[in-house]
Structure 1
């Protein structure tokens, strides 16, 4: 999706403006037409606020049509027929294009139950979730009434559209749609940061395979050069950070048993705030370690 500056959007003809924003809300270019009439926008936050106001002020039948324009999640038939590029990227980001048989069965069950109860597809901003958290959210929301789910669907469309605008529009201000996950290793045995420690971030799954999200090594400051997750939401879910400690101390000539008491250290933690900052440090010696949620 080519990016466009907010200044160019403000100056564009109506047809070009609508074409640029046509897919910000799934199969609903009327939302872009409404926005075209309200220019100029001072920032992307104002643009998104106007978009949500247009959706929330629409007639109930128009809102329902907007909700129904969205695809089911992990639906093989719909994927074969072709999703929009935006929906495909979003579903793929959560691994919905490579589910286990058990996960496909679980998604099919909850999709059918949700449609049968509410008459429209379940909508969630999948970039804020893992496979496990989507299934958990499905089950939780199945207990709601239709009025509540209509409101929830529009809220999720708001989150989806904010992320799509963030990827599309270049502006001086920013939407608060990104989180950050970082780490820092301190060698308490040497009393300084620990460089050269290989680490791996894994997304844990109940029904399918765990996914490696990032691999990195600590730098001279004991940190990774880039956040483990950054520039996007932190998907809600359970994770494991694995640190290769045994090799680090062996390379520094520290006397340890063979095999070492601590070789690979796994830290398991959960993320519940997609737009938050999670800092998961490791304080380590050859015989002990500790962690906490930092900032």
Structure 2
């Protein structure tokens, strides 16, 4: 259920806490602490107040809060014993459907992490690919205790900002979404390339997971973003452009088979809330790209 900011500002404290309390994992006291600071002028200010309540808590309460988060792809996830928010978030990157090898790898990392830091590994999975989550896991195991506690709190900031943005509508929404777009320019003809089939894949090790397809319009662009309305998951990606079909349709002789048929562009995303525009400029015999805006 979503709520308007105006309605939240007018609620009784107990109702306010009930409405947004579960945006912070198993910690209704966060919303209870922020309720007295109303009214909030923006949704961003609401989230800032909620997060500030965590930051102001005593170290022992902060540690208990961290310990209240679930393992990634842990036994609780397999048993379905997660909060609704955590279940949906872990499912968004396939952590609910790992094979035995993948589950065992997460289990080993979870155990190593908790033995070192005494709370579960916390990451905003909606801002990452599975490959990136594993890279973060292994990198952060080398942190000292203070650095890792700070890293966990940063991830909680991102997790809860997304949850609040999904729960509350109103002025000053947090900037939580990114955008991935493309266009194709036929530099041989000097005009946009219409009708080019494009496929988007997410890379995970040596595997390429199909995400979606699109066709360029008369402007050489897709009718909508390839990814929009959500964070762009950090990780490696690939766009595949069927330029061979495009040049054949123009009657261009480029060999049999053609010199360029499917052009793959591999790129990485590091800014989940950013705009990545990845165009293709091509002739029947060459191509180039850049990060545009």
Q: TM-score, normalised by structure 1?
A: 0.95
2:45 aligned residue: 46
Q: Deviations over 1:167-196 (max 9, x none)?
A: 111112121222111111001111111111
In structure 2, how many angstroms separate the alpha carbons of the residues matched to 1:140 and 1:280? 28
Q: Deviations over 1:51-87 (max 9, x none)?
A: 1111001011110111111100011443314211111
Q: Secondary structure at the match of 2:37?
A: coil
Q: Deviations over 1:3-46 (max 9, x none)?
A: 21101111122222111102111111111111211110000111
2:210 aligned residue: 212
Q: Secondary structure at the match of 1:250?
A: helix
Does residue 1:146 correspond to 2:145, yes or no? yes
How far residue 210 of structure 1 moved from its aligned partner, in angstroms, is: 2.7
Q: Secondary structure at the match of 2:54?
A: helix
How far residue 256 of structure 1 moved from its aligned partner, in angstroms, is: 2.9
2:164 aligned residue: 165
1:235 aligned residue: 233
Q: Which runs of 4+ in 1 moved over 4 A?
A: none
In structure 1, how many angstroms separate the alpha carbons of the residues matched to 2:229 and 2:92? 13
| Residues 166 and 200 (structure 1), Cα distance of their counterparts in 2 relative to 1, 3 Å cut | same
Task: Give the stretch that moved more between structures: 16-25 or 253-262.
Answer: 253-262
Question: Across the two proteins, how many residue pairs are aligned to each other?
Answer: 293
| Residues 96 and 139 (structure 1), Cα distance of their counterparts in 2 relative to 1, 3 Å cut | same
1:102 aligned residue: 101
Q: How does 1:49-64 map to 2 (within 5 A)?
A: 49-64=48-63
In structure 2, how many angstroms separate the alpha carbons of the residues matched to 1:90 and 1:159? 12
In structure 1, how many angstroms separate the alpha carbons of the residues matched to 2:287 and 2:104? 40
Q: Contact 2:77 / 2:87 at 8 angstroms: preserved in 1? A: no
Q: Deviations over 1:182-220 (max 9, x none)?
A: 11100111111111111111110117x432222111111
Does residue 1:261 correspond to 2:259, yes or no? yes
Q: TM-score, normalised by structure 2?
A: 0.96
2:223 to 222, 225, 237: 225
In structure 1, how many angstroms separate the alpha carbons of the residues matched to 2:131 and 2:200? 17
Q: Secondary structure at the match of 1:240?
A: strand
Cα RMSD (Å): 1.4
1:156 aligned residue: 155
2:124 aligned residue: 125
Does residue 1:195 correspond to 2:190, yes or no? no
| Residues 248 and 101 (structure 1), Cα distance of their counterparts in 2 relative to 1, 3 Å cut | farther
In structure 2, how many angstroms separate the alpha carbons of the residues matched to 1:39 and 1:54? 13
1:86 aligned residue: 85
In structure 1, how many angstroms separate the alpha carbons of the residues matched to 2:82 and 2:34? 25
